[in-house]
Amino acid sequence: MVLPLEMGWRHLLFESWPVDADRLDDHLPEGFEPDVHDGSAWLSVIPFTNVDVRPRGLPRSLGVRLPEVNVRTYVTRDGVPSVYFFSLDAQGLASVAGARLFHHLPYYYARISLEWVDGRVAFDGRRRHPGDRPARYEATYWPTGEPFAAAEDPLAEFLVERYRFYTEAPDGTVRHTDVAHDPWTLYPAEASVETDTLLRANGFRRPEGEPVRYYSPGVDVTASRSERSGEVT
């Protein structure tokens, strides 16, 4: 059992596409249903950096930085709107190993750079996980317009205001982790995506059309222990 964690999520891009729910359903374990908004399920790629990652109660100075990009969708289980991760690529080898072991998350070791330069984020992540197929996400993104509370926009609220994520452990059990943080403040965002093979590595073609994009400077987060939720049937 791992201790609850504290961390900060910073410089996030929420890049999301509407997709057919049946398309996602084939990628989910039994017992999960795609959550839909306006009749569509949603698939997201989210680059950002974790900061000050540490067991709850320790000072920030002992935390580590962990740049990351994840691929996720939105599900309901037992009536709870949640997140389901297909993959999470991150910089720290020890942190990746710990997340796989204790939170049963599909983390992959990657070499990642994230820089904030002149009001824009330059992100470059290259998967280097031993034995796994290569994948890369390279993009520059930035906020535009005025900040707004996610709860003011139904789609934004659907995509970001979620406080539980699920994973399937190697032994076939379903596990969940709850997170706590302040409500999201978002900006409209623009991005220039040079390379994205993460979706392909997860068995998806990059959807046609422009995604919905939001930027957030971030939130401070507490994550619970990973807890068993039952068997995958």
pLDDT at 92: 77
Overall number of domains in the chain: 1
Determine contact, residues 141/151, Cβ cutoff 8 Å: no
What are the residues facing 84 on neighbouring strands? 73, 166
What's the Cα-to-Cα distance from 116 to each of 100, 121, 144, rounded to whole Å?
Answer: 29, 5, 15
Quickly tell me which residue has 């990059």 as its tokens: 206
Torsions phi, psi of 99, nearest 5?
A: -65, -40
Residues of the chain with pLDDT under 50: 1, 232-233
* C-alpha span between 177 and 227 (Å, rounded): 6
Domain of residue 76, residue span: 5-231
Task: Give me the pLDDT at residue 70, please.
Answer: 96
Q: In this predicted model, what pLDDT tens digit does every residue of 37-54 receive, in sequence order?
A: 999 999 999 999 999 999
CA distance linking residue 45 with residue 59, whole number of Å:
30
Residue 68 has a pLDDT of 96
Q: 88 with 107: CB under 8 angstroms?
A: yes
pLDDT at 26: 86
Classify burial at 38, counting beta carbons within 10 Å of its beta carbon; exposed 0-12, middle 13-18, buried 19 or more: exposed
Position 150 scores a pLDDT of: 98
pLDDT at site 231: 54
Residue 2's pLDDT is 63
Give the domain CATH number at 149: 2.40.400.10
pLDDT of residue 229: 80
Query: What is the distance between the alpha carbons of residues 32 and 51, in angstroms, rounded to a whole number?
Result: 31
Task: Give the separation between CA 37 and CA 19, rounded to whole angstroms.
Answer: 10
Q: What is the pTM of this model?
A: 0.93
Question: Which pLDDT score, from 0 to 100, does residue 169 have?
Answer: 78
Query: Per residue in 134-183, pLDDT tens?
Result: 899 999 999 999 999 999 999 999 999 999 999 887 777 888 999 999 99
